[in-house]
Amino acid sequence: MSLMTDKQTLNDLNIFGKRGGDTVYAIFNRTFTRGGSELLEEMFRNPLSDENAINARSSIIRAFSGKEIPFPYESEWFDAAEQHLQNTDERTRLNEHEDTLNRKFNQLIAADTEYKAIEKGVICLIHILQATKAFAESIRQQVADIPYSKELAAIDRLLALDELQPVLREHAKQKFSFARIAEYDKVLRFRQRENILQLLRQIYQADVYLSVARTARERKYSFPVALPKELQTVVLEDFYHPCLTKPVANSLSITPSSNIIFLTGANMAGKSTFMKALGIAMYLAQMGFPVPASRMEFSVRDGIYTTINLPDNLSQGASHFYAEVLRIKTIARELSRDKYLFVIFDELFRGTNVKDAYEATIAITSAIARRQNCMFVVSTHIIEAGDALREKCSNINFVYLPTLMEGNKPVYTHKLASGITSDRHGMVIIKNEGILDILTRKKSIKENT
């Protein structure tokens, strides 16, 4: 079963973003094949929600990360092979009896493009099959006690098919006769097509594992351990946002007795970045992927939902405040299903006045505090809300991102601390930028023109 999430969460965490951009998917996409890239995207769109499946995938990638196992294929083999296998029209099947003088004469005076395409597809498939046999043996030799045994068994079973044995014994670099191409085309494209597609899927999966393992090795990511959902635990040490060039690492724990993280801090203190880093770590962990942290243990979730960069919907006449209300309503419906969720609310009700935001933040946070089977992260710069919630709820862990002052200049540490912030530096920033000086200049518009 897949993790429940939605488009807003994917956008908040920049999982895909714009193609070719600095996204989480792009960090891990080091695949050699187009099929591997597509399978990786499929994994990102469907994180796991089963503890055993998560740990199994994580253990495979961890084993691969310990060795630099080469991927002995050429990407163009797969493009030709895939295109060849897609053509299942029986009318294009070659017949060895068609190797007549008339066909040979036509081939001399004009390119036989249809035959050339079939020939290329067959030869590329032969290359792939032979390389896969060597690749599987290489994995067995390089990685001891590998948890990849089920996948290797599937590859071995497919390569052991009787009709594929002549193909595996061929010298792929030789010039094949028309009759030989016709025979292998009949076997590979028609009789064994489904098995060949299964084998390609196994190769693409190995491509993904090697790609993710390479990322983990080069970036020194750690492998999270998935725990039963009922434990309601998260332990994250030295985690950070993977897309930052100079990130600040933080540590955090969530327990059954403090399943709500209430985050305060001044504007620009780094609350949103911190929450994105936490959300990305949880999302990657649910995939069984390595995370940018020194250590992570987490109770598996049924779903992850975030509200960080919520857009207005002006085309429908919806204000930012109303968009916030509708978003919270959507998440409330998910919470009512009694699933084990991980939810992030960044700056609740920033689209309304301070009084309403204060009251609504207290009301919503108090309500979700009764959901003991879920984990929440709530941020706000309205520090008075934190003081009120401290008296009402016992299962809230209050943390903040401090701001230091060097003279009149605020310095943001981005380092998490326990408690509720008392920092208020909005007017300091306004004065430092000289905005009031600009607005109170006595020169008239006429004098400036």
* Domain limit, last residue, from 163, 189, 219: 219
State whether 153 and 254 are in the same domain: no
State whether 215 and 226 are in the same domain: no
Centre a 10 Å sphere on the Cβ of residue 164 and count the other Cβ atoms it contains: 22
SS3 assignment, position 313: strand
Lay out the sheet containing 396-401: strands in order across.
303-307, 341-345, 375-380, 260-265, 396-401, 417-418
Q: Give the whole-angstrom CA distance, residue 49 versus residue 26.
A: 23
φ and ψ of 226, to 5 deg: -85, 135
Q: Give the whole-angstrom CA distance, residue 69 versus residue 72.
A: 9
* Domain limit, last residue, from 194, 219, 244: 219
Residue 7 inside a domain? The answer is no
Q: Give the whole-angstrom CA distance, residue 180 versus residue 415.
A: 67
Residue 449 inside a domain? The answer is no
State whether 114 and 165 are in the same domain: yes
Count helices and strands (H / E) in the chain.
18, 12
**DSSP calls for 237-299:** EEE--TT-SSPPPEEEEEBTTB-EEEEEE-TTSSHHHHHHHHHHHHHHHHHT--BSSSEEEEE
**Domain harbouring 67, CATH code:** 1.10.1420
H-helix segments, 94-112: 101-109
Distant-in-sequence, close-in-space partners of 407: CB < 8 Å, separation ≥ 6: none
φ and ψ of 433, to 5 deg: -80, -5
Q: Give the whole-angstrom CA distance, residue 422 versus residue 419.
A: 10
Count structural domains, the chain. 2
- Average pLDDT across each block of 10 residues of the chain; the chain has 449 residues. List them in order: 93 84 92 96 97 96 90 94 93 70 48 83 96 92 78 94 95 84 94 97 97 97 98 98 95 96 90 97 98 98 94 62 89 94 92 88 95 95 90 95 85 93 69 75 57
Distant-in-sequence, close-in-space partners of 104: CB < 8 Å, separation ≥ 6: none
Q: Give the whole-angstrom CA distance, residue 364 versus residue 366.
A: 5
pLDDT of amino acid 100: 52
Bridge-partner residues for 404, per DSSP? Answer: 411
Please state, in angstroms and as integers, the Cα–Cα distance from residue 302 to each residue in 1, 298, 341, 343, 373, following that order. Answer: 9, 12, 6, 11, 11
State whether 58 and 143 are in the same domain: yes
Do residues 364 and 379 make contact, with C-beta atoms less than 8 angstroms apart? no
Bridge-partner residues for 225, per DSSP? Answer: 297
Token output for 236: 């994250």
pLDDT of amino acid 58: 97
Residue 383 inside a domain? The answer is yes
* Domain limit, last residue, from 219, 250, 283: 219
Name the residue range of residue 330's domain. Answer: 221-438
State whether 200 and 242 are in the same domain: no
State whether 329 and 258 are in the same domain: yes
State whether 210 and 241 are in the same domain: no
State whether 240 and 213 are in the same domain: no
φ and ψ of 247, to 5 deg: -75, 155
**Domain harbouring 362, CATH code:** 3.40.50.300
State whether 175 and 193 are in the same domain: yes
Residue 94 inside a domain? The answer is yes
Residue 445 inside a domain? The answer is no
Q: Give the whole-angstrom CA distance, residue 337 versus residue 123.
A: 54
Q: Give the whole-angstrom CA distance, residue 306 versus residue 173.
A: 54
Residue 27 inside a domain? The answer is no
φ and ψ of 154, to 5 deg: -65, -40
Nearest to 304 by CA among 279, 281, 323: 279
Residue 160 inside a domain? The answer is yes
Centre a 10 Å sphere on the Cβ of residue 306 and count the other Cβ atoms it contains: 29
State whether 208 and 228 are in the same domain: no
Helical packing angle, 34-45 and 193-219, nearest 10°: 70
Do residues 151 and 205 make contact, with C-beta atoms less than 8 angstroms apart? yes
| Sign of the CA dihedral running 53, 57, 63, 65 | negative
State whether 137 and 61 are in the same domain: yes
State whether 72 and 107 are in the same domain: yes
pTM listed for this prediction: 0.90
Q: Give the whole-angstrom CA distance, residue 439 versus residue 307.
A: 35
Token output for 433: 């930028």
pLDDT of amino acid 215: 97
Residue 1 inside a domain? The answer is no
